Amino acid sequence: MVFWVFGYGSLVWNPGFEYDEKIIGYIKNYRRVFDLACIDHRGTPEHPARTCTLEYKEGSICWGAVYCVRGGEEKERLAMKYLENRECEYDQKTTIDFFKEGETDEPTLSGVIVFTSTPDKESNKYYLGPAPLEDMARQIATASGPCGNNRDYIFLLEKAMFDIGHEDDMVIELANEVRKVLGLLGLGVRKETSTNRLTGPSLKPKSPMSPRKLLHLPEAIAMDT
């Protein structure tokens, strides 16, 4: 028995569960967006945080990390229980193909689990939907909850993508806008210089692949993504 799960948010730098293997790579036809609410970890019901989810977009790619759990039914059960509790604001599991760097045609792994959310405000109470960059930045700059503030989430994700060698332009743009808001509010935050950014061409996959829905998760208490 074995399962693989793809992380694209805080799982990239803080998986939080026992795993046997980690691989950096990407999935096709999805992009990272900050359209999901977190109401009891880095935000509150009155002032929800914005955390990332995936949006299906043909031709896009999303870099992250895939984790393998093997070694027996009980170990897998505990890891999945932890993930389902942590990722509970995501109301879907989707199975996808995963590609390592340099591979564009044949996937490295198939049937990889990724937690996703229904982009519909009526059926998914955690879905905030898109908003202007300035509005998202102000929400992220000011939201906080029992486990920390929302701005740390975006800055840690920005750093995590830098560390794996695949920065996300949208994350960088949003993080810099958050820094502007914090400056206006007089809170201050460290500024990454442009010389710290990785350069080089992005890997462009050739053939799109369709997602396969696995199941819907029951409603639970939201935690960090």
Active-site hit among 18, 87, 134, 192? 87
State the chain's mean pLDDT as an integer: 85
Percent of the chain at pLDDT above 70?
A: 83
Task: Indicate the residue type of 171.
Answer: V
33: amino acid identity, one letter = V
Give percent helix, percent strand, percent coil of the chain, each to the nearest 5.
25, 30, 40
The pTM of the full predicted model, rounded to 2 decimals, is 0.80
Decide: 157 and 10 in contact? Cβ < 8 Å: yes
193 pLDDT higher than 70: no
Compute and round to an integer the Cα radius of gyration of the chain.
17
Quick one: pLDDT at residue 112?
97
Phi, psi of 72 (to 5 degrees): 130, 155
Q: Looking at residue 80, what is its pLDDT?
A: 93
Note the pLDDT tens digit of each residue in 141-153: 999 998 899 999 9
pLDDT at 87: 87
Report the pLDDT value the prediction gives residue 71, as an integer from 0 to 100: 85
Active site residue 106: no
